């Protein structure tokens, strides 16, 4: 028999439609769906033998998958009412929302979105019941051909199943697997966000469709909070702040998807690298540098030629094919193989700030977040099976220290063996338990993602939360048994026999470029002093204060403080405003009083005036702030 679970109680049930089984068992009428493992199901789901279904109401966060999917259909129905000739492609849910790709002649601008929203509200008011229909593929193709919906026809043909499911609400019918809510009137809090272009099937050779993004929440306050977050995120967009603060630029005409770091952006990058090197040296890593271009034979052996070739760049010289490296791991293996290794040499922790190149379609390239060239703070640990747990704990400690430095809370996910994986059950059990034990021993809470590991081993992912509540996947730790096997690397054990080491792949920042983008948005460009490109701006009130100001500049510079002077002939109020726009942590105003007292008037970028301070005292305080890499100003802001 199958089983239903609701509010801690279990109900044995027969096979059948979930909606009818709930009625038979007199279960709560507020139930809107359930989950079978990771898969969400709706009330139209046909329960099969031995299934276990966890039921939930609209109050449960899992219900978002149902009501956002339903809202995408409500939006499509509204569009069909307004634009009779509209043709629909796909309309899935995404994190915090949904979208639909539509082929329609009318440019869907902000004004059109308002019309669509008005019609959506009408459909919600009509409270239309949803109905799930199973139809043979041939019948479905004929139906959608009659409705002039060529994209649906193409999808059905590609699926290749004998039958498909459709969902009907009022006059609107759509090809869909579900799941959905029972009716259109159950979610009232939604907002259409924007329109973007999207090639059909992501192929630039196909027609450009219009993709409408929307969001929906069960509670009005949750929607309002999310919209405020989006508004704040727009102000923090690194693609705007980066050029405004003169940190970087992107020139798609000469290097699409690649970043040009300006002096200020390079300063941030070098500070990140400096911290990284310090911490890796403390953790007994050895830093290496591997070639950017290597022979195709290496990439065939690693498996990248077969599985990653479309994302790689190639060049041919002297009748030899070479690839620009998309990953650093094969290079590290070549270093490992260059000398015979003993068990006494392990663990060997090898790290590199290695720049890699990966081809990404132009439609997915996105500022610093998705680039075609980026630098990974890569490391590979070669160790014995017995050393796995201690090595994982060491990496976790480094991740924790780094994220605390930037004020990032984080959550952890452990992904286990997928269906199509390599290696024995014994190896997978040993490695998965090693990751679990390491997480347990350091006291980290974690979520298990069953079957979501890499095909070559389980992994741990770290998701950081920024200052406005968004999460970003950054650090990852992956166990790998495949690469050591492919390259036949070994070490000599205490028994004088050769053994296969385990390889641990890990990054802390991930991509340096992406991490800088995250930091720009996390801090809204107002970096802590230790990482700020300019830490202090000197602001002489007039030309007669320039001589003393330059003496102060020399003193600050000699103490390793990044300082500039605004000696332009303009009012002090303009100088202060300009320094605030550049988000410089400290402004030192210098006038007659400061020259006479050999002091500086300290102002923060927030606008707070801290009054006069002797130059030596200011240098002492800011030097301590920089040295400690403090998140906050020495003055509490």
pLDDT tens per residue across span 321-337: 999 999 999 999 999 99
What does the alpha-carbon distance between residue 300 and residue 306 come to, in Å, rounded to a whole number?
7
Instruction: Evaluate the CA torsion angle 606, 249, 517, 202 in order and state its sign.
Output: positive
**C-beta atoms surrounding 221 within 10 Å:** 9
**pLDDT at position 346, please?**
97
In degrees rounded to 5, what are phi and psi of residue 537? -115, 125
**pLDDT at position 632, please?**
82
What does the alpha-carbon distance between residue 587 and residue 563 come to, in Å, rounded to a whole number?
10
Q: What percent of the chain has pLDDT over 70?
A: 99
What does the alpha-carbon distance between residue 137 and residue 539 come to, in Å, rounded to a whole number?
74
**pLDDT at position 637, please?**
59
The HSE-up count of residue 262 (CA atoms within 13 Å, CB side) is 12
Contacts of 159 (CB under 8 A, 6+ apart): 137
Domains in the chain, please, with CATH? Answer: 2-57 (3.10.20.740), 66-236 (3.30.980.10), 248-290+328-523 (3.30.930.10), 536-627 (3.40.50.800)
Average pLDDT over residues 414-435: 83
Contacts of 424 (CB under 8 A, 6+ apart): none
**pLDDT at position 11, please?**
86
In degrees rounded to 5, what are phi and psi of residue 321? -95, 130
* Confidence grade of residue 635 (pLDDT, cut at 50, 70, 90): low
Q: What is the pLDDT of residues 308-317, one digit of tens each?
A: 888 899 999 9
The 8-class DSSP code of residue 62 comes to: G
What is the pLDDT of the chain when averaged over all its residues? 93
**pLDDT at position 83, please?**
96
Tell me how long the chain is. 637
DSSP, collapsed to helix, strand or coil, labels residue 107 as: coil
What does the alpha-carbon distance between residue 456 and residue 422 come to, in Å, rounded to a whole number?
6
What does the alpha-carbon distance between residue 18 and residue 476 come to, in Å, rounded to a whole number?
39
DSSP, collapsed to helix, strand or coil, labels residue 243 as: helix
In degrees rounded to 5, what are phi and psi of residue 63? -65, -20
Any idea of the CA torsion for 61, 65, 71, 76, to the nearest 10 degrees?
170
* Confidence grade of residue 66 (pLDDT, cut at 50, 70, 90): very high
Report yes or no: 218 and 189 within 8 Å, Cβ to Cβ: yes
143-152, 203-212, 371-380, range with the lowest pLDDT: 203-212
Report yes or no: 538 and 552 within 8 Å, Cβ to Cβ: yes
pLDDT at 423 over 90: no
Average pLDDT over residues 355-376: 90
**pLDDT at position 37, please?**
86
Q: How many helices (H) and strands (E) are present in the chain, helices listed first? A: 19, 35
**pLDDT at position 636, please?**
59
Report yes or no: 423 and 480 within 8 Å, Cβ to Cβ: no
Residue 195 token pair = 């329109």
Report the catalytic residues: 329, 358, 376, 378, 380, 459, 505
Nearest to 447 by CA among 479, 473, 424, 420: 473
53-57, 111-115, 364-368, 550-554, range with the lowest pLDDT: 364-368
The sheet that has 373-383: what strands, in order across it? 286-287, 348-357, 373-383, 502-511, 471-480, 459-465, 410-415, 447-449
What does the alpha-carbon distance between residue 463 and residue 100 come to, in Å, rounded to a whole number?
27
60: exposed, middle or buried (Cβ count in 10 Å: 0-12, 13-18, 19+): middle
Q: What is the pLDDT of residues 229-280, one digit of tens each?
A: 999 999 999 999 999 999 999 999 999 999 999 999 999 999 999 999 999 9
pLDDT at 598 over 70: yes
**pLDDT at position 15, please?**
86
Greater pLDDT, 419 or 503: 503
**pLDDT at position 308, please?**
82
Distance of CA 357 to the CA centre of its chain: 19
DSSP, collapsed to helix, strand or coil, labels residue 278 as: helix
Q: Which pTM was predicted? A: 0.86
Residue 364 token pair = 């997915």
Cis peptide before 334 (omega within 30 of 0): no
DSSP, collapsed to helix, strand or coil, labels residue 415 as: strand
* Confidence grade of residue 24 (pLDDT, cut at 50, 70, 90): confident
β-bridge partners, 465: 471
pLDDT at 29 over 90: no
Map tokens 């996910």 to a residue.
Answer: 413
* Confidence grade of residue 181 (pLDDT, cut at 50, 70, 90): very high
* Confidence grade of residue 418 (pLDDT, cut at 50, 70, 90): confident
Q: What percent of the chain has pLDDT over 90?
A: 79
Distance of CA 98 to the CA centre of its chain: 18
């Amino acid at each position: 028999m199958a089983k239903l679970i609701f509010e801690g109680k279990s109900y044995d049930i027969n096979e059948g439609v979930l909606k009818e089984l709930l009625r038979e068992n007199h279960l709560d009428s507020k139930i809107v769906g359930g989950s079978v493992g990771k898969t969400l199901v709706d009330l139209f789901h046909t329960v099969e033998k031995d299934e276990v279904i966890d039921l939930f109401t609209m109050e449960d966060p899992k219900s978002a998958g149902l009501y956002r999917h339903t809202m995408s259909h409500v939006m499509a129905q509204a569009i069909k009412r307004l634009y009779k000739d509209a043709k629909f492609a796909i309309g899935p849910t995404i994190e915090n929302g949904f979208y639909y790709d539509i082929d329609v002649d009318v440019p869907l601008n902000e004004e059109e979105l308002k019309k669509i929203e008005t019609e959506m509200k009408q459909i919600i008011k009509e409270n239309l019941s949803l109905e799930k229909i199973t139809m043979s593929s041939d019948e479905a193709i004929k139906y959608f051909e009659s409705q002039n919906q060529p994209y649906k026809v193409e999808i059905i043909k590609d699926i290749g199943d004998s039958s498909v499911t459709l969902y009907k609400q009022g006059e609107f019918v759509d090809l869909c697997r579900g799941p959905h809510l029972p009716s259109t009137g159950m979610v009232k809090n939604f907002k259409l966000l924007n329109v973007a272009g999207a090639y059909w099937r992501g192929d630039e050779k196909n027609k450009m469709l219009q993709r409408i993004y929307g969001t929906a929440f069960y509670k009005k306050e949750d929607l309002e909070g999310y919209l405020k977050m989006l508004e704040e995120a727009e102000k923090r967009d690194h693609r705007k702040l980066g050029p405004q603060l003169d940190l970087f630029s992107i020139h798609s005409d000469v290097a699409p998807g690649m970043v040009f770091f300006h002096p200020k952006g390079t300063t941030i990058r070098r500070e990140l690298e400096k911290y990284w090197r310090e911490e890796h040296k403390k953790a007994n890593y050895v830093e290496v540098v591997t070639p950017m271009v290597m022979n195709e034979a290496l990439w065939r052996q690693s498996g990248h030629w077969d599985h990653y070739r479309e994302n790689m760049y190639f060049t041919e010289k002297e009748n030899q094919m070479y690839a620009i490296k998309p990953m650093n791991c094969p290079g590290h293996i070549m270093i490992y193989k260059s000398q015979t290794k003993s068990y006494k040499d392990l663990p060997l922790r090898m790290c590199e700030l290695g720049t890699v190149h990966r081809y990404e379609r132009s439609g997915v390239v996105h500022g610093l977040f998705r680039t075609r060239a980026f630098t990974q703070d890569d490391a590979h640990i070669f160790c014995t099976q017995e050393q796995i747990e201690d090595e994982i704990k060491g990496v976790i400690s480094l991740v924790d220290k780094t994220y605390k430095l930037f004020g990032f809370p984080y959550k952890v996910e452990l992904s286990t063996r997928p269906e199509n994986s390599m290696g024995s059950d014994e190896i997978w059990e040993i490695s998965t338990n090693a990751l679990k034990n390491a997480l347990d021993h350091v006291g980290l809470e974690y979520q298990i993602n069953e079957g979501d590991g890499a095909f070559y081993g389980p992994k741990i992912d770290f998701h950081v939360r920024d200052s406005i509540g968004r999460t970003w996947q950054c650090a990852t730790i992956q166990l790998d048994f495949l690469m050591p096997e492919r390259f036949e690397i070994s070490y000599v054990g205490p028994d004088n026999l050769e053994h296969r080491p385990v390889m641990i792949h890990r990054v802390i920042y991930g991509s340096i470029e992406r991490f800088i983008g995250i930091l720009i948005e996390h801090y809204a460009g107002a970096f802590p002093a230790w990482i700020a490109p300019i830490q202090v701006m000197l602001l002489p009130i007039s030309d007669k204060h320039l001589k003393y100001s330059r003496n102060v500049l020399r003193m600050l510079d000699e103490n390793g403080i990044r300082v500039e002077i605004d000696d332009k002939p303009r009012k002090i109020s303009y100088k202060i405003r300009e320094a605030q726009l550049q988000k410089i942590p400290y402004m030192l105003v210098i006038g007659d009083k400061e020259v006479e007292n050999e002091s500086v008037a300290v102002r923060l970028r927030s606008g707070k005036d801290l009054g006069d301070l002797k130059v030596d005292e200011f240098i002492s305080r800011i030097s301590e702030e920089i040295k400690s890499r403090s998140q906050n100003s020495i003055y509490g802001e």
